[in-house]
């Protein structure tokens, strides 16, 4: 149950933060407005805040809005963790992307959105894969946020595993960790090949 809950939250976080991060990354790397620089700083600021501090701040917010222990507050908390990671990955990819093909596509009649999706988005697919994996790992690997914001009936996988290891003295927890690791390997390879990441062709 905890693993399924973590999978659901991680997928939701990956999709929402991926879309928001890509939109902001495009605006920052291509825009010329002065307000984009402070916005860029604010976007990466959560990276420098300890998760326990962030979780405690959100605990107060969750109590104020009666969201303590809900999937909603867990989603918001993990979104604030995953978004800056995905944003930095997209910014790094877009800064090194060649836009000549996109500009040529627009000259030949493609709309700006379609030209971006057909050319530049494919070129930054490596960054997209890295960003997606980072978002999923951020949810599955963090126990401090679910410790503050979760309940005994609404625990994430990392907290459930940590609690089991603290209260039980067998090898089942280690087995769960190995199984999750083995499941992650083919998933990452499959997604990477589908997106055209060349580093995984030798696997």
pLDDT digits 0-9 by tens, 142-196: 878 888 887 777 778 777 777 777 676 666 667 767 766 776 777 667 666 655 5
Distance CA 99, CA 119 (A): 8
Contact 10, 135 (CB under 8 A): yes
Q: Whole-model pTM?
A: 0.79
Distance CA 5, CA 11 (A): 10
Whole-number mean pLDDT of the chain? Answer: 81
Tell me which residue range forms the domain holding 85.
2-200
Number of domains in the chain: 1
- Residue 190 has a pLDDT of 62
Q: What's the CATH code of the domain at 74?
A: 1.10.3720.10
Distance CA 175, CA 190 (A): 23
Distance CA 136, CA 86 (A): 11
């Amino acid at each position: 149950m905890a693993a399924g809950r973590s999978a659901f939250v991680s997928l939701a976080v990956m999709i929402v933060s991926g879309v928001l991060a890509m939109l902001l990354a495009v605006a920052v790397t291509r825009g010329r407005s002065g307000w984009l620089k402070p916005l860029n700083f604010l976007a990466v600021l959560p990276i420098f805040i300890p998760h326990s501090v962030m979780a405690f701040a959100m605990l107060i917010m969750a109590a104020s809005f009666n969201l303590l222990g809900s999937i909603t507050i867990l989603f918001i908390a993990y979104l604030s963790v995953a978004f800056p990671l995905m944003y930095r990955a997209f910014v790094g990819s877009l800064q090194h992307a060649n836009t000549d093909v996109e500009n040529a596509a627009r000259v030949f009649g493609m709309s700006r959105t379609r030209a971006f999706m057909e050319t530049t988005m494919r070129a930054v697919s490596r960054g997209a894969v890295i960003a997606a994996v980072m978002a999923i790992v951020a949810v599955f690997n963090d126990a401090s946020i679910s410790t503050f914001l979760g309940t005994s009936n609404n625990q994430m996988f990392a907290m459930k595993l940590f609690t089991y290891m603290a209260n039980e003295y067998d090898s089942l927890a280690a087995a769960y960790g190995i199984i999750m690791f083995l499941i992650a390997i083919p998933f990452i390879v499959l997604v990477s090949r589908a997106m055209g990441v060349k580093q995984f062709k030798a696997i």
